[in-house]
């Protein structure tokens, strides 16, 4: 799955990758984000009404056919293997694919202490070795209420893990290679959609690295300067672990009270749609 990612790249560095007018106010309010969490706004590149544009959407998909999004299960991930068939994702897959800029993503590895039987979640950061940004493959949707209000939401596609991810998790995000943005966003028919399926296959990890992070609450024993800067990453599946971090801002971002950040109690987020 993909439950957290980072976008610390400056807006100036992102602009050459983005096509179309920026959302109103983005240039004034954009800030690097060490961790983007479910329920929060995400930046995305999309095609809207035949035009390629930059947009913002909340992470956690609400389908357009929903009568009322309150209390609706809101998936944050969609499996590439079943996205074309699942009712939640079938429409967005056909008409509203998206690209989400990121420069890293997190996964949590289930661990157990053989002597005590204690279990915990070991956080890992996956990023390009050159620290360059990349595209997460996703979908977006626009829900319209009876009162004319609109809600735009998004979901990130996941696929089977490559050799780098396999030892940590059984899923990983779909990455769209640079140069194929137009092909991914273009409105296409059935054969065109099937031609996109290879883009959702496990990607080559040769240019990537996995950085082992300090779980929240553990002793500060960084193995490198990069790890020292990244410490404070809390596990998403449990609220049990708490503790000090060398970076309070990072701790605040990474270790929320419940691990996830739903919009409210009536709008639950779901980790993955099987």
Exposure string (b/e) for 99-119, b if CB count within 10 Å is 16 or more?
bbbbbbbbbbeeeeeeeeeee
Mean pLDDT of the chain: 81
Sequence-separated (6 or more) residues with CB below 8 Å from residue 77 = 1, 2, 3, 155, 156, 157, 158, 171, 271, 272, 273
Q: What is the pLDDT of residue 147?
A: 82
Q: 4-270 is classed in which CATH architecture?
A: Alpha-Beta Complex (3.90)
Burial class (CB in 10 A: 0-12, 13-18, 19+), 76: buried
268, pLDDT greater than 50:
no
Q: What is the pLDDT of residue 120?
A: 87
Instruction: Read off the DSSP letter of residue 15.
Output: G
Q: What is the pLDDT of residue 113?
A: 87
Tell me what the mean pLDDT of segment 79-105 comes to.
95
Q: What is the pLDDT of residue 184?
A: 97
Catalytic sites, residue numbers: 2, 107
Q: What is the pLDDT of residue 219?
A: 36
What whole-number distance in Å separates Cα of residue 68 and Cα of residue 56? 21
Tell me what the mean pLDDT of segment 212-234 comes to.
47
Q: What is the pLDDT of residue 174?
A: 98
Tell me what the mean pLDDT of segment 128-152 comes to.
93
225, pLDDT greater than 50:
no
Q: What is the pLDDT of residue 54?
A: 97
pLDDT in tens, 109-139: 999 988 988 998 999 999 999 999 999 999 9
Sequence-separated (6 or more) residues with CB below 8 Å from residue 5 = 35, 36, 100, 102, 104, 105, 106, 136, 156, 173
**More confident of the two residues 194 and 260:** 194
Q: What is the pLDDT of residue 248?
A: 31
Q: What is the pTM of this model?
A: 0.80
What residue spans define the domains of the chain? Answer: 4-270
Tell me what the mean pLDDT of segment 154-176 comes to.
97
Q: What is the pLDDT of residue 213?
A: 93
194, pLDDT greater than 70:
yes
């Amino acid at each position: 799955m993909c439950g957290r990612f980072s976008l610390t790249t400056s807006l100036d560095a992102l602009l050459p990758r983005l096509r179309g007018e920026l959302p109103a106010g983005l240039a004034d309010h954009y800030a690097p984000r060490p961790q983007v969490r479910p329920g929060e706004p995400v930046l995305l590149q999309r095609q809207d009404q035949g035009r390629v544009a930059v947009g913002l959407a909340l992470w956690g998909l609400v389908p357009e056919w929903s009568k009322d999004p309150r209390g609706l299960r809101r998936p944050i991930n969609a499996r590439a293997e079943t996205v074309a068939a699942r009712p939640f994702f079938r429409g967005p897959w056909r008409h509203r694919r998206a690209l989400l800029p990121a420069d890293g993503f997190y996964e949590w590895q289930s661990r157990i202490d053989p002597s005590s039987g204690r279990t915990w979640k070991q956080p890992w950061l996956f990023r390009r070795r050159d620290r360059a940004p990349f595209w997460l493959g996703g979908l977006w949707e626009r829900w319209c209420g009876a009162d004319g209000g609109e809600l735009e939401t998004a979901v990130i596609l996941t696929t089977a893990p490559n050799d780098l991810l396999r030892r940590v998790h059984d899923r990983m995000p779909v990455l769209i290679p640079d140069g194929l943005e137009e092909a991914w966003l273009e409105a296409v028919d059935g054969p065109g959609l099937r031609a996109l399926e290879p883009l959702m296959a496990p990607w080559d990890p040769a240019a990537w690295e996995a950085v082992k992070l300090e779980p929240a609450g553990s002793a500060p024993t960084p193995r490198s300067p990069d790890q020292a800067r990244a410490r404070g990453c809390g596990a998403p599946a449990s609220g049990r672990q708490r503790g000090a971090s060398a970076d309070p801002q990072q701790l605040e971002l990474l270790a929320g009270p419940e691990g996830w950040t739903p919009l409210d109690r009536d709008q639950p987020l779901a980790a993955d749609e099987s």
